[in-house]
Structure 1
Amino acid sequence: MVTAALPSQGAGPFSGRRHVARALMVLLLVLAGSATGCSAVGSQRSGVVVTTNILGDITRAIVGGQAEVTVLMKPNADPHSFGVSAQQAARIENAALLVHNGLGLEEGVARNVEAARDQGVPALSVGEGVDPITYIQGRTARQPDPHFWTDPVRVIGAIGLITAQVIEHVDGVDAGTVRANAAAYRDQVSALDAGMRMDFAEIPPGRRKLVTNHHVFGYLAQRYGFEVIGAVIPSGTTLASPSGSDLKSLADAVRRAGVSTVFADSSQPDRLAQVMAREAALRIRIVSLYSESLTGADGGAPTYLRMMRANADAISAGLATR
């Protein structure tokens, strides 16, 4: 209970009224400040923040103009190593929804994601919700594979996850419009899947063998019937380093399988693949793919759909003939 002090008997009538008015003003300011403090966190949160540019493109297609979508990862960046500024970290913690890949992909911003989750920011780990697979790191250890976007069918599942979270957590969006955007984009990804199946059907089964710079196309291989012979970097992250014995083991596997093409990420140097080929006296071609990042608008993969279309064309061309 809040009380205001009454004027002393020696005070004049106008002085007493001034004291009462001041007391009431203080009371109103206190109550207003308390109400603002209780709702400050919620009222400051707005928009969608997305960690990687591939998920950012997918999310923007779903959200359309219904809310602001902030993408943290720049074009041509490595999702395993990119970091954020202090301003971006604050934006993450003030988001109405945080969309991230998960499964250990965004190693450089993992602590920011955890900090935002601790602050109560709704966070969607898309990779965890699309039936992830594993890969073998080293000789025995199995690790979750974060590169689910190489399988368009799993991306269709991701569209549903993102759509539901946007509608639930982002104030002001029209649910019908978001669902319509999602349905239209889902149709485009379904058409992409059908086109990739047709392209890969032209590759003889005996040539459907993939060697990449690191473990990135496991989902694509599972979906379309390829065999992953190995990776130059025997890991799901570009931050790992292969040993000399790793390169020799891969070279032996490549020779046994009769592989003539190695696929390297366009944003990563292909030096290790060149070293492997030279030291093992292998005659191989190295073909670039857009595996982990979109390009800028003037590049060959400015959107997810164009990235996967370009990759399907490059894989088909690289494996169709010896």
Structure 2
Amino acid sequence: MTTPKRTALRLRRLLPSLLALACAATATACTSTEDQPRVVVTTNILGDITREIVGDEADVTVLMKPNADPHSFGLSAVQAAELERADLVVFNGLGLEENVLRHVDAARESGVATFEAGRAVDPLTFRAHDDGGPEEEGGQPDPHFWTDPDRVRKAAGLIADQVIENVDGVNEETIRANTDRYDGQLADLTAWMEKSFARIPEEKRALVTNHHVFGYLADRFGFRVIGAVVPSGTTLASPSSSDLRSLTQAMREAGVRTVFADSSQPKRLAEVLRTELGGRVRVVELYSESLTEKGKGAGTYLQMMRANTTAMTDGLTTG
């Protein structure tokens, strides 16, 4: 049901077009003020997915820059204003964009349609490691759903629904065709990842990362999460000396000598483990939380996932 706030927003969005029509009808020399529909996306991973779906049907603005950390990036006043002028705001949610969510809430209060992708794709509960013990961090949901391409397929279809419902002037057939094409690419990605990971022996399917970001990938493709240098789902947390001791002990017991560190974060903490474990730890870079600039290794979601799959497979089968 359309709310009074949403009706007012749509009327504001229609005003430039109505003025242009009035100018044409009266042969008045008016400057065109027609405004293209706007979709604003918080993270660059979701931004790439949304652009694949929207195509040229609307302007897609992505707030998070390449190589940024979604847990800590903030907005300028201009970017915050973009949110309240949007027809639709797509955000990850589940606490990921910690400095941006209040601006998303403000846009929603002003009548802008918003879509929280993470909450709509059956989120997992955060668990620090697969030991069968109690769930961590008060049962908080894990926001890193994009490491499971099947959940991204679901999110892409739901984003398409939101665009068609809330963005005036888009062509539904084009949006659906874009979504079907991208869905096929995501299905191909999943099949390729399964084939690649099949090269890793069962006893070596163990993950240690900078922080807990690959829970969905582990759940989907049969990996064990041994632990993380930062024992949290956010990069804003810090490890204690006891955390590091516990992790190095778990790594020794599991025979793990490879740590996967996000390419956008300093690797100092992962390097500490080299000292703790006698210098026999290999640190492998992944693109876990952000895309890169175009041509820099992970310019799209599909490129990011293929690069990570290759790095993980090589890191766990060699050395």
Q: What range describes the TM-score normalised by the shorter chain of this pair? A: 0.7 to 0.9
Structure 2: give runs of 5+ residues left out of the alignment. Answer: 1-7, 17-34
Counterpart in 1 of 2:181? 184
For 1:91-135, what per-residue CA distance to the aligned partner results, in whole angstroms no more than 9, with x for missing partners? Answer: 101100000000000001011011111111100000000000012
Specify the code of the residue in structure 1 equivalent to 2:200: I
Any idea what SS the aligned residue of 1:136 has? coil
Q: Using the TM superposition, give the Cα deviation of residue 137 of structure 1 relative to its aligned residue in structure 2, in angstroms.
A: 5.7
For 1:242-266, what per-residue CA distance to the aligned partner results, in whole angstroms no more than 9, with x for missing partners? Answer: 1110011001000100001100000
Any idea what SS the aligned residue of 2:127 has? strand
Match of 1:97 among 88, 94, 108: 88
Identity of aligned residues (%): 62
For 1:231-284, what per-residue CA distance to the aligned partner results, in whole angstroms no more than 9, with x for missing partners? Answer: 110111101101110011001000100001100000001101111330343511
Kept in 2: contact 1:248–1:280 (CA 8 A): no
Match of 1:195 among 179, 192, 215: 192
Match of 2:65 among 50, 69, 74: 74
For 1:271-316, what per-residue CA distance to the aligned partner results, in whole angstroms no more than 9, with x for missing partners? Answer: 0111133034351100000000000013100000000000000000
Q: 1:289 to 1:37 in 2, by over 3 A?
A: closer
Structure 1: give runs of 5+ residues left out of the alignment. Answer: 1-35
Any idea what SS the aligned residue of 2:266 has? coil
- Between structure 1 and structure 2, the one with the greater Rg is 1
Give the Cα–Cα distance (whole angstroms) in 1 for the partners of residues 10 and 304 of structure 2: 45
For 1:54-113, what per-residue CA distance to the aligned partner results, in whole angstroms no more than 9, with x for missing partners? Answer: 000000000000000000000000001111111111110110000000000000101101
Counterpart in 2 of 1:55? 46
Give the Cα–Cα distance (whole angstroms) in 1 for the partners of residues 100 and 253 of structure 2: 40
What is the TM-score of this pair, normalised by structure 2?
A: 0.86
Give the Cα–Cα distance (whole angstroms) in 1 for the partners of residues 115 and 235 of structure 2: 24
Matched, 1:126 2:117: yes
Any idea what SS the aligned residue of 2:140 has? strand
Q: Using the TM superposition, give the Cα deviation of residue 42 of structure 1 relative to its aligned residue in structure 2, in angstroms.
A: 6.6
Any idea what SS the aligned residue of 1:106 has? coil
Counterpart in 2 of 1:18? none
Counterpart in 1 of 2:11? 39
Give the Cα–Cα distance (whole angstroms) in 2 for the partners of residues 315 and 298 of structure 1: 20
Specify the code of the residue in structure 2 equivalent to 1:183: D
Q: Using the TM superposition, give the Cα deviation of residue 39 of structure 1 relative to its aligned residue in structure 2, in angstroms.
A: 3.3
Kept in 2: contact 1:60–1:69 (CA 8 A): yes
Kept in 2: contact 1:255–1:282 (CA 8 A): no
CA RMSD of aligned residues (A): 1.8
Any idea what SS the aligned residue of 1:286 has? strand
Counterpart in 1 of 2:306? 309
Counterpart in 1 of 2:152? 155
